[in-house]
Structure 1
Amino acid sequence: MEDHEWLAQRFEEQRPRLEAVAYRMLGSTGEAEDAVQDAWLRLTRADPDAVENLAAWLTTVVSRVCLNMLRSRATRREESLEAAHVPDPVVTAEPGADPEQEAVLADSVGLAMLVVLETLAPAERLAFVLHDMFAVPFDDIAGMLEKSPAAVRQLASRARRRVQGSAQPDRDRGRQREVVDAFFAAARDGDFDSLVAVLHPDVVLRSDGGAGHPLSVTYHGARTVAGQAITFGRLFPLAHPALINGAAGVVVASRDRVLSVMAFTVADGRIAAIDVLADPERLSDLDLPPLADGTGSDGLGG
């Protein structure tokens, strides 16, 4: 019993890192929790004396479980290629003076990056996530993928080029919020020109209403996205400021019902991507913090 409790304590110490690895691999909080739980079950069946480095052993197990889940997902996914899919968002309150919260937010990965990671082959995603995000050596990853270290290095390099080719978000959250506020103010006022001005010319709006739902669509270009923003502007007074994966965003909610979560990628002072989760089933599973006051008639930011 004492050995089991000691093992459980050691596992819990590793859980935050393991969940971070799994979330970046899968883009799903529920599946990430399942992968970590699978690792715990395997640990309870393993010979403790044969595990020299528990952290490395658990990372390997979780990574292999995630790899299998990604491969299974790729073979069974039959949705239209045009249907938008937005990964599970992580919603937190606006930051205060809590250094621990700031440290967690600094390590956040934006929804837009997770969307890019979803375009990678499973092996590319594993190589990039483990090496570039968690500093796992290529030699260790090679064993997981049953490839040479040189081949794994190439996988990570291809993934890196794809990620670097996407918009790189501004790190100043205060500036992010200013830009998002300007977006909502212009949408509320029906000011098309101001909306276009705050959007990057190549902005992408992804809306995920669930499999087969007409709201699962992708729009490209500032003028098209501005038109959509004005169309749905009536909902924006219900928007509550929040951080979505560590970046400025909103939760659109009416009383006790969440209508959508909107994440914004602000790059060079303009909005480069908007990711909207409007799937009622997935929204009901979100762990939401107490929401800040909505926009009311004054818009976000007053």
Structure 2
Amino acid sequence: MQVNWKGVFPAVTTKLKDDGSLDHEAIKAGLNRLIDSGVGGVVMMGMVGESAQLTPEEKRTVIKLAVETVNGRVPVIAGLAEATTANAVQYAKDAEALGVQGLMVFPGLTYKSDARETIAFYRTIAQASTLAILLYNNPRGYGVDLTPDVVAQLLEEPTIEAIKEESYDTTRVTDLISRFGDRLAVVCGVDDLVLESVALGVTCWVSGMANAVPKESVELLNLAVTGDYERARKLYRALIDVFHLDTHVKLVQYIKLAENITAGYSETVKAPRLKLEGEERQKVVAIVEKTLANVRALSK
């Protein structure tokens, strides 16, 4: 299956039991819920999936469960977030053997590589498998910026097909599209910039809060891509407060709490993250409940 970089690709949360172990049945049920909501693909083991906190065996187990559960209905993308090039290469090979269709590749973790090192890192991974590659550009989070000049060199690798643009600078979207055209799919990576990104030509969105509100997220993207901006703006305004939660350092806890409210899945996270409590938890609950009320009001 080739990856068609269109539609909502949730960065899927990893469902855990109270003891922190993988909840296989909840992982499978969550994937089916997302697919039934009309998503275009799923991204496993991204940052929202707590990739950095899972053991190598756990990460591969989640990918295997996803491939088996999805069963070809949509593309499965495996997040690749490793600290060494050797581990990244092995992960790419293992993910391909497990049957995913693509990799969302983070910069090397823990080290802020310069442009030459960054290019070498991504090229080595691209050559390790035949999988489609989605570059992950989040300079705020990881200190490495995949600028258009860096991307131009990376596109010498034919399997590099797309970039998850999370620089929080919408001018980057236009710069990339105008420079690379159809050679590179530019994917929105920030929930509260999705409508702005679509207006500039984006048709694919890797979303965290789509875990909690998948149907609404799919509807929003479809409205915008088809040019119905009047309805899209109304829905976007209804969802915007919960989308803002996707940009916070505790986005994993916020998304899991929102998903608990909307779908009943556990809030459990891997340490050092802890479940929300007290006033902070109450604030997030209030935002989610207000958002759901806003969405219901639109349908009246």
TM category, shorter: 0.3 to 0.5
The structure with the larger Rg is 1
TM-score relative to the length of structure 1: 0.33
Higher strand share: 1
Q: TM-score, normalised by structure 2?
A: 0.33
